[in-house]
Chain A
Amino acid sequence: MNARLIIALIWLALPLHAQGFAGLGQGGEGFALPEPGRVFDFPADHGAHPDYRIEWWYVTAALTGEDGRDYGVQWTLFRSALTPTGPQVWMGHFGLTTPDAHFTGERFARGDIGQAGVEPTPFDAWIDDWLLTGPTFDTLQLTAQTSEAGYDLALLAQGPLVFHGDAGFSIKSQSGQASYYYSQPFYEVTGTLDLPEGPMKVTGKAWLDREWSSQPLEGDQEGWDWFSLHFDDGFRLMAFALRGGADFHYASWIAPDGTLTPYYGDALGLEPLATSVVEGRDVPTRWRLTLPAQQVDVTVEAVNPGSWQSTLFPYWEGPVRVTGSHAATGYLEMTGYE
């Protein structure tokens, strides 16, 4: 899920921003680099890895309200080390999507003073008063609010952690840039959205991504499209395409028991079907996604095409509805559309 990597690196405010979402030629010199065959150590690995340049805790929740409408929630905490020995800085993103509105929030903090951080046991990730906290990684409470809207959700894991790529070593380009990447895709969610028109009780499914690395992308990769889908039959799918240079495709097919099958390259088909004009840009908000190996041929459509995160480094992120060979709810993130 390099989506997040690039945001974080751009957020480091490297000249990248001026060059668009491309050109991530920054080296990881002095930082630790991901290597295949890592033995993950939990709960310690739920905490921060300051030797690595960038890292995040990324929650997306596809929800249904009491009124039967679709809602979506995003909560992200990014950590970044400015230099291998230097200061750690933190960034939080807030997203709340309804079929006709989208709310954005953003927070920043310096490390080492307690304004933001992550503790593995008991699990506690926070920036200001935006919290992801619970006795274990399986039982979490998610709260955040802006001046316009907020949410308070309980997340209960119904399955195991899953490890993308080669047992958590996730390759991001033809030339081998990689990250450590695992997820908890099996949360059941209950809770309340605090909307301008009043509170809304919601239920649904959430997905938590953990990823860290130091130098993940090729210089000519300019953006990505990332999908996380919860199928009605209990299967999960994570799929992404990195655009630019030689396009790079990857998908994780996850069985209800947590068994993960990775697919590379042409095994995953992604085709934009329709675009919407969002903030002056053409963004694909309806997709055809195919994974023939699992007989998947579906149409993915944004619940709200205007799910634009107008943060310091803006991108599109919002809930989707899936129809076709399989029915699903899920989340879509797209960056690099200028």
Chain B
Amino acid sequence: MIILTLMAITTLGIIKLRNLFSVVVLSSIYSFLMATLLLIFDAVDVALTEAAVGAGVSTVLMLTVIYYTKTTEEEPKHSSIIPIMVCLAIGGLLIYGTYGLPPFGASDTPLHNHVSAQYLQRSIPETGVPNVVTSVLASYRGFDTLGEVIVVFTAAIGVISLLKKDNS
């Protein structure tokens, strides 16, 4: 709860501030808080990724981008009432939707009873890998992970061809 409150305060800061350098630093802080939250949920692999990518590498990339542009954001030209209304409506709908979810930590939900239980039971006898996250990612869902690697590959090729300086 404390971490969620801190995240909300950070988000308000990101919205309010016009200095882009502070915004980047605040989004880095937001990523660290998110990583802490994932750690509390025992999702260590995701927390590690969030800390390394969200707080580390993407902050450096955004700082590099700011170096080539202006460091202050311009004042919005239009009134921001309609976006605020849309955000409040969608946020309210999402909060209303959470009342339909099963209680936090319940073990009889569909999520825990179909494939997850199978993975937890069969990971050690079939693959001998104690970290179930790795055995699911690399072995049971190897083809999905190949797709993810190809997504990274395609994204990198795209960014490089966009940013490459013309040698001609």
Chain A partners chain B: no
Interface residues of A (CB under 8 A from B): none
Interface residues of B (CB under 8 A from A): none
